């Protein structure tokens, strides 16, 4: 639901509800903001929430304290794992699921920059790549084999990083090659801008094999 993440048990009874949204509380000494976002896998078996809490000075010019935690829930509604390094990506989900929900790609932020981390539903990290100056969006292919991280550098144009999550390979492509529409990557490792093929891990692997003959 737009303002809640609802969990229904096997009998269809509402067993838990997590409120989503943004709240602010002010006092004479500080301002506290709290944002909770979340979503479910396509089949509704898995879910995640991200809880962002920031304490500012009264003018909101200085951060006094910051807490960030992403929580991942199993089909029984229980928390499987959490990640305190996660962060929200403006205008994009902080975590994206494969179709079966068993692989996900999430955004992390550390002092050195932003990272894209591939994890299993059990919380095992498959691969982590970065740092990026600023993440703009994450995508994952239906099977969870490939991923895409779009990012930007304030002094340069945006870049699409295509990821082979199994082989731990990354290919960066400037965004000016994506003139025909939204980018995507399929389960064969082919990157498209609308219907135009921009890059293929499949073709790269074939070329590498031919060069070594």
**208 lies in the same domain as 149:** yes
pLDDT value, residue 3: 87
End residue of a domain, out of 67, 84, 101: 84
H or E, element range at 68 = strand 63-73
How many angstroms separate the CA atoms of 160 and 114, rounded?
A: 14
How many angstroms separate the CA atoms of 112 and 131, rounded?
A: 7
**178 lies in the same domain as 159:** yes
What are 7-33's pLDDT values in tens digits? 888 888 888 888 999 999 998 889 999
How many angstroms separate the CA atoms of 130 and 88, rounded?
A: 16
pLDDT value, residue 189: 93
In terms of C-beta density within 10 A (0-12 exposed, 13-18 middle, 19 or more buried), how is residue 152 classed?
middle
What is the total count of domains within the chain?
2
How many angstroms separate the CA atoms of 148 and 121, rounded?
A: 19
**80 lies in the same domain as 97:** no
pLDDT value, residue 180: 59
How many angstroms separate the CA atoms of 97 and 46, rounded?
A: 9
**152 lies in the same domain as 198:** yes
Q: CA dist 11 to 8, 15, 140, Å? A: 8, 10, 32
How many angstroms separate the CA atoms of 198 and 206, rounded?
A: 16
Picking from 164, 166, 133, the residue whose alpha carbon sits closest to that of residue 150 is 133
What are 123-169's pLDDT values in tens digits? 999 999 999 999 999 999 999 999 999 998 877 778 889 999 999 99
**97 lies in the same domain as 113:** yes
Residue 4 pLDDT level (bands cut at 50, 70, 90): confident
What are 73-124's pLDDT values in tens digits? 998 889 999 999 899 988 889 999 999 999 999 999 999 999 999 999 999 9
**153 lies in the same domain as 203:** yes
**127 lies in the same domain as 45:** no
**98 lies in the same domain as 202:** yes
Determine the distance from the C-alpha atom of residue 130 to the mean position of all C-alpha atoms in its chain, rounded to a whole number.
13
**75 lies in the same domain as 127:** no
- Residue 72 structural domain: 1-84
Kindly give, in sequence order, each residue whose CB lies less than 8 Å from that of residue 86, ignoring residues fewer than 6 positions away: 50, 68, 69, 70, 94, 95, 106, 107, 108, 109
């Amino acid at each position: 639901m737009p303002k809640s993440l609802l969990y229904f048990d096997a009998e269809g009874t509402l067993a838990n509800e997590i409120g989503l949204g943004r709240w602010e509380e002010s006092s004479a000494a500080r301002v506290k903001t709290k944002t909770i976002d979340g979503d479910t896998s396509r089949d509704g078996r898995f879910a995640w929430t991200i809880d962002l809490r920031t304490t500012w000075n009264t003018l909101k010019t200085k951060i006094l304290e910051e807490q960030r935690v992403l929580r991942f829930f199993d089909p029984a509604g229980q928390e499987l794992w959490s990640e305190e390094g996660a962060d929200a990506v403006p205008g994009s989900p902080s975590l994206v699921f494969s179709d079966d929900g068993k692989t996900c790609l999430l955004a992390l932020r550390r002092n050195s920059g932003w990272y894209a981390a591939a994890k299993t539903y059990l919380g095992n990290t498959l691969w982590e790549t970065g740092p990026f100056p600023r993440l703009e969006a994450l995508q994952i292919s239906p099977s969870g084999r490939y991923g895409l991280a779009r990012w930007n550098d304030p002094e340069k144009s945006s870049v699409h990083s295509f990821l082979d999550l199994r082989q731990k390979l990354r290919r960066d492509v400037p965004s000016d090659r994506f003139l025909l529409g939204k980018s995507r990557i399929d389960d064969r490792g082919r990157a498209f801008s609308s219907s135009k093929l921009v890059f293929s891990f499949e073709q790269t692997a074939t070329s590498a094999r031919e060069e070594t003959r």
